[in-house]
Amino acid sequence: MSVTVRVPAKVNVQLAVGAARPDGFHDLANVFLAVGLYDEVTVTEADELRVTCEGPDAGQVPLDRTNLAARAAQKLAERHGRTPDVHLHIAKDIPVAGGMAGGSADGAGALVACDALWGTGASREELLDICAELGSDVPFSLVGGAALGTGRGERLTPLEVGGTFHWVFALADGGLSTPAVYGEFDRLAQGRDIPEPVASQELLAALAKGDVHALAAALSNDLQPAALSLRPSLADTLAAGRAAGALAGLVSGSGPTTAFLAADAESAAAVAEALRASGTCRAARVAESPATGATVV
């Protein structure tokens, strides 16, 4: 028997970052929006834990026990006094190390898949606890939709979304390390007062109304200067997307994927085509939001 779970990528429509905490993490006001680019995790009984991966970026995915899908299976097995003897296969469509939470998606997907395969019957609360142990972004991959993440991003409040938004994602060559981008944020912040991160009321209202123009005006990412500092060429991608008619563009999370909000599906297709022709990115993908969280298919 096997179970397959589909899990979406995310874009951060607001990422407000506070000062570094004593534990090295940063308090956030992280407004997550799930987007319709998906990984699928399939779990099958096996003699021992193993991970395989297919997809254009598969070569960059670790297949040992550091893979977030393997770690998720191990954690659930430990809690329920069993061995994690499964084959986890990841069909990967989310860019790796791209600021779109692909690893987190696989962690959440493996957790839901193993829970179903083993008949563990874990509560939603227990699954969310395990997600938070796996990483700050993993709880959101489980729930999907839209949510405000506080603390290090793991404490979620669901948000209302009143319409469909059309995005274009420009994929970059190579990834950016999340800790390196937060480290660069700290370096750039030296000597400055960093305010407490708070969610923008304009942004939350724009999401709730499904107002694409208001959302475009309110998009913000405090990690963007750090990502641009580490990867200056992203400025060219942002300029190309805006010149092509996107309402707004920003770095997705820690990058280096850049995200562009378009007025409608037709405009998104045109922006994607112009980005491909611009030579400023490796590929351009269109996707809609919101998307549902980890779901057994």
Ligand X SMILES: Nc1ncnc2c1ncn2[C@@H]1O[C@H](COP(=O)(O)OP(=O)(O)O)[C@@H](O)[C@H]1O
**Residues noted as catalytic:** 10, 137
Number of residues this chain uses to bind ligand SUD (CB under 6 A): 20
CB-nearer residue toward ligand X: 3 or 61: 61
Residue 94 CB, nearest approach to ligand X (Å): 7
Chain position whose Cβ is nearest to ligand SUD:
253
- Burial track 122-135 (b if 16+ CB lie within 10 A, e otherwise): beeebbbbbbbebb
By CB under 6 A, the residues from 136 to 165 that bind ligand SUD are 136-137, 152-153
CB 20 within 8 A of CB 28: no
How far from 116 is each of 57, 82, 121, 141, 269, CA to CA, in Å? 27, 14, 8, 17, 37
Place of tokens 């899908």: 69
68 binds, among ligand X, ligand SUD, none (CB under 5 to 8 A by kind): ligand X
- Rule CB under 6 A: choose which of 96, 161, 234, 246 binds ligand X: 96
Strand arrangement of the beta sheet that strand 283-289 belongs to:
248-251, 258-262, 165-171, 283-289
Q: Which residues contact 191 (CB under 8 A, 6 or more apart)?
A: none
Interatomic CA distance for residues 279 and 206, integer angstroms: 32
CB-nearer residue toward ligand SUD: 198 or 243: 198
CB-nearer residue toward ligand SUD: 10 or 166: 10
Query: Which of the ranges 98-106, 125-133, 184-192, 271-279 carries the binding residues for ligand X, by CB under 6 A?
Result: 98-106
CB-nearer residue toward ligand X: 40 or 244: 40
Q: Report the interhelical angle of 265-278 vs 234-243 (nearest 10°).
A: 140
Interatomic CA distance for residues 276 and 170, integer angstroms: 8
**Burial (Cβ within 10 Å: 0-12, 13-18, ≥19) of residue 223:** buried
Chain position whose Cβ is nearest to ligand X:
103
Residue 184 CB, nearest approach to ligand SUD (Å): 11
CB 197 within 8 A of CB 153: no
24 binds, among ligand X, ligand SUD, none (CB under 5 to 8 A by kind): ligand SUD
CB 87 within 8 A of CB 48: no
Residue 181 CB, nearest approach to ligand SUD (Å): 7
Answer yes or no: is 59 a known binding residue. no
28 belongs to the binding site for ligand SUD (CB under 6 A): yes
**Burial (Cβ within 10 Å: 0-12, 13-18, ≥19) of residue 194:** middle
Number of residues this chain uses to bind ligand X (CB under 6 A): 20
Name the residues that contact ligand SUD, by CB under 6 A: 12, 15, 24-26, 28, 30, 99, 101, 104, 135-137, 152-153, 178-179, 182, 253-254
Name the residues that contact ligand X, by CB under 6 A: 61-62, 66-69, 90, 96-104, 106, 175, 178, 254
Annotated binding site for ATP: 95-105
Annotated binding site: 95-105
